A = this chain, B = another copy of it.
Amino acid sequence: MDAAVKLELRTEAPLKGRTEGGGPDVSSFTLDNGLDVVVIPDHRVPVATHMVWYRNGSADDPLGQSGIAHFLEHLMFKGTEKHPAGEFSKVVSSLGGQENAFTSFDYTAYFQRIARENLKTMMEFEADRMSNLMLEEAVIAPERDVVLEERRMRVETDPSSQLSEAMAASLFLHHPYGIPIIGWMHEIEKLDRAHALDYYKRFYAPENAILVVAGDVTTDEVRRLADNTYGRVAPHGARPVRFRPREPEPVAARHLTVADPKVEQPTLQRLYLVPSSGTADGRDCHSLDLLAEVIGGGPTSYLYRKLVLERGLAVNAGAWYMASAMEETRFSVYAVPAQGVSLEQLEAALDETLKQMVAEALDFDAIERAKTRLVAESIYSTDSQSSLARIYGSALAIGETIEDVRRWPTEIEAVLKDDLASVAERFLLLRRSVTGYLKSAS
């Protein structure tokens, strides 16, 4: 599907918004077979967003089978006994709906947006493919070719994606977050029906899934519909175990270069290994979120001001933090050099700027403005039904709670200047980092 592996292929920040404290009246319950259900009422228009999230992503791919989570996402469109390949998509489209699916490091999700009266039909189809996928031999090789072509187009021929992959692989010495979501080419090539079947049987279970319905629905209605569709899927007896190794403490600053004749605009990127929502102590995760906004959130941020406006060394500069992750994650700073400025010069300037960050960037006004921007962004995001569904679905899929999501703006407001200085001093260290140059081949 189109949106697959998006997280990996862009260098901008991932989805940031959360709901403000006074957000929608979200409810949740669990079916007898273990399926978790979240209902997010939104009665403004007579539509519904229907998503199923599975608690397995590329970081759960068995060793040597990188890409299997994403391959399975493709294969989920290849038909069940009841519904041949393509029928589900045709129905969605004939009803004027939209659909999509995506695979990330920690989860895989399937999505439709339809008129509210068609919700039951979506549930029937989605529940059906939760346990009745055919996975015929005949569909495997052609779909694998589709994925291989996807990788060729998105990575092999795109130096910027190659840099992202190389940087992640260097940042994560041990954890599978260093393996591309789409998989390594030579391992995708070997994925076969047996791998897909094993994977499907292991992870596609009601206990491992979260149904999120946002829209013009009531909790009772969703419960009744879910019972009659998903409720009939046999439980596996237990949620599948996901094992993730932990990263060793980083000791060496790393640096790498991708040089390619296709590169027209050189860029400088840096990743730091930092705690995530799943691993951070105390206020660290919220502090990192706010720090990224203060130093790198748009044209009023510290890095942009220093490198672009004051010194004229860059045409763009910023920072982002991938907060939502089960294990240690990425904090990034980046800059695009102005004409005539080398990446080496720009990196030196970036490092000087970062050295002065605690003294210069963390003033009260800048922090307050960043809080306002972040919280406003999270309020705007609640305006979109599908954003809301994604926010709750992704949070639950990585082990957070509805309460975590609701509390997010309050937690951001509570971050103090000292918290920002503290995370900067503990985590934005060169030995925790990988610096990447993208440049034209000489």
Contact = CB atoms under 8 A, between A and B. Distances in A.
Interface of A: 63-64, 66, 162-163, 165-167, 169-170, 173-174, 178-179, 184-187, 243-246, 248-249, 251-258, 436
Contact of A253 (B186, B252, B257): B257
Nearest to A255: B255
B170 A251 contact: no
A254 B64 contact: no
A255 B178 CA distance: 17
23 contacts: A64-B243, A66-B245, A162-B251, A163-B252, A165-B251, A166-B252, A166-B254, A169-B173, A169-B248, A170-B170, A170-B252, A170-B254, A174-B179, A174-B184, A184-B248, A185-B249, A186-B249, A187-B245, A252-B436, A253-B256, A254-B254, A255-B256, A255-B257
Contacts of A64: 243-246
A257 B253 CA distance: 5
Contacts of A66: 174, 245
Contact of A245 (B63, B169, B253, B258): B63
A255 to B, nearest CB: 4
B251 A258 contact: yes
Nearest to A248: B184
A210 B166 CA distance: 39
Most chain B beta-carbon contacts within 10 A, residue among A64, A184, A244, A255: A255
B186 A63 contact: no
A248 B173 contact: no
Most chain B beta-carbon contacts within 10 A, residue among A178, A244, A248: A248
List the 7 closest pairs (A to B, CB-CB), nearest first.
A166-B252, A169-B173, A255-B255, A184-B248, A252-B256, A64-B245, A254-B256
A186 B167 CA distance: 23
Contacts of A244: 64
Contacts of A170: 170, 173, 252, 254
A170 to B, nearest CB: 5
A165 B166 CA distance: 18
Contacts of A251: 162, 165-166, 258
B254 A258 contact: no
Nearest to A245: B64
A272 B184 CA distance: 20
Contact of A252 (B162, B184, B187): B162
B248 A252 contact: no
A186 B245 CA distance: 10
A278 B246 CA distance: 30
B178 A173 contact: yes
Contacts of A179: 174
